[in-house]
């Protein structure tokens, strides 16, 4: 991402929500109505922070990183990579006041079915997934077309196994087809390997059950 930033392909600005809280304590959280464990992001400072960001980025989607959101996948990363502006909101505590979600959040995104301390790491995951799809960021942009979760035959497939020198390592040789120079056969081998690996490990990507 540093390369993208240095080449003016990406610009990231961070907002401290506490700067929009009220003195003297600048609290950004409070106890939940109805009782229960944990604290909840207060609506006032969070709404002010989002609205401040929207003044600078009026066309940006506001995306909340939350475990209860839509699961991040490569298709979503591709969709987000076409956006010129995004505002990422990092959840924390037990979550944020629902009224902020209803009023100001456009999308809710999760990076998986597990819980982290906050939304900062998920935001970084989303940011990197998006950034590497921006033309000029990767040394070889074509690599994004053959990696895991790229689409082939209408399905998202896991990528084929990779091999490099030496030709034999601890008694295991590189598949002969990869050293044949026959690009058509190599392409077929890689596709067949991707198909078999996806069926074995992630049949859900092909409409099966996992």
Question: Which pLDDT tens digit goes with each residue over 57-87?
Answer: 999 999 999 999 999 999 999 999 999 999 9
- Nearest CA among 49, 12, 16 for reference residue 131: 12
pLDDT tens digits for range 139-160 = 655 555 555 666 555 668 999 9
pLDDT at 55 over 60: yes
Taken in order 20, 21, 23, 25, the sign of the CA dihedral is: negative
User: What's the pLDDT score for residue 8?
Assistant: 77
Mean pLDDT estimate for the chain: 91
- pLDDT of the residue at 150: 62
Angle of the 74-81 helix axis to the 120-131 helix axis, nearest 10: 70
Name the DSSP letter for residue 34: T
pLDDT for the residue 112: 96
Structural domains for the chain: 2-131 (3.40.1280.10), 146-206 (1.10.1270.20)
End-to-end CA separation in angstroms for the chain: 34
Instruction: Enter the DSSP assignment of 100.
Output: H
- pLDDT given for residue 7 in this prediction: 77
**Arithmetic mean of pLDDT, 172-182:** 97
Cα 20 to Cα 26: distance, rounded to the nearest angstrom: 8
Read off the pTM: 0.83
């Amino acid at each position: 991402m540093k390369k993208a930033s240095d080449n003016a392909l990406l610009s990231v600005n961070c907002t401290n929500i506490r700067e929009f809280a009220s003195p003297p304590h600048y609290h950004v959280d409070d106890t939940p109505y109805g009782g229960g464990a944990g604290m909840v992001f207060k609506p006032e400072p969070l709404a002010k922070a989002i609205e401040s960001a929207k003044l600078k980025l009026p066309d940006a989607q506001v995306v909340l990183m939350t475990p209860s959101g839509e699961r991040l996948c490569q298709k979503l990363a591709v969709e987000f990579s076409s956006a010129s502006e995004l505002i990422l909101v990092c959840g924390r505590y037990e979550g944020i006041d629902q009224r902020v979600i209803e009023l100001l959040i456009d999308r809710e995104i999760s990076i998986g079915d597990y819980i982290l301390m906050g939304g900062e790491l998920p935001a970084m995951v989303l940011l990197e997934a998006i950034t590497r799809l921006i033309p000029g960021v990767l040394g070889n942009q074509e690599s994004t077309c053959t990696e895991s979760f790229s689409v082939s035959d209408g399905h998202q497939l896991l990528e084929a196994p990779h091999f490099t020198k030496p030709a034999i390592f601890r008694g295991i040789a590189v598949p002969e087809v990869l050293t044949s120079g026959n690009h058509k056969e190599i392409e077929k081998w890689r596709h067949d390997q991707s198909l078999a690996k996806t069926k074995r490990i992630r049949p859900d990507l092909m409409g099966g059950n996992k």
